[in-house]
Chain A
């Protein structure tokens, strides 16, 4: 299996532009998580889906952020409009099964820089 695939790996954009981050979870996994990592705030859970349904989006910082999971093999995280403070590494992770001991597998992350 190729693991969790995120694209792009790096994104540099100007303030005010729309940014879309993409994630392909591991086939067969039914939970998907989006995290944001910064030096100041560490790893923050933004939103997570179970069976393509958003379960908890309380970590989404503002209305500028939105996430979708149209099917089991694809998810997007969109920022519109982007701001410099959105600069961070964004991770997507997926896990499968109902057992508590199943770990989440992370993608390589997308490093976003908003200038």
Chain B
């Protein structure tokens, strides 16, 4: 069963607009972590933001924020004031504990294109 679901294969947004990238997850563990990574066309994976399952507040990092709705098992990434350089693939990932070690699994990704 898919543990991380990103339902938007692609999104197109005008520069300077805010954009929300969806992510839902499935786990029965009470302790887990959620991550967002950016992959530009150059191919590297860049860590953006983290949300822990016990965190009371939504995580924020500069223009990135995470809309964490635990009961709905969603962790959407919000990018404010989008820029041309935000065009990239975005991956949601979940860390869960397996056999005492922490396993990181990714969703299928969303390709974001920022139009000038």
Interface residues of A (CB under 8 A from B): 31, 33, 35, 42-43, 45, 48, 50, 55-56, 89, 91, 93, 95, 98, 100-101, 103-106, 108-109
Q: Contact at B104–A104, with CB atoms within 8 Å? A: yes
Q: Contact at A55–B98, with CB atoms within 8 Å? A: yes
Query: B50 on the interface (CB 8 Å rule)?
Result: yes
| Interface residue SS majority, chain A | strand
How far is A45 from B35 in the complex, measured between Cα atoms in Å?
15
Query: B32 on the interface (CB 8 Å rule)?
Result: yes
Q: Contact at B43–A100, with CB atoms within 8 Å? A: no
Report chain B residues within 8 Å CB of A91. 45
B89 smallest CB distance to A (angstroms): 9
- For residues 12 through 68 of chain B, which have their beta carbon under 8 Å from a beta carbon of chain A? 31-33, 35, 37, 43-45, 47, 50, 52
| Interface residue SS majority, chain B | strand
Q: Contact at B106–A108, with CB atoms within 8 Å? A: no
Q: Contact at B45–A106, with CB atoms within 8 Å? A: yes
Q: Contact at A48–B103, with CB atoms within 8 Å? A: yes
Q: Contact at B101–A103, with CB atoms within 8 Å? A: no
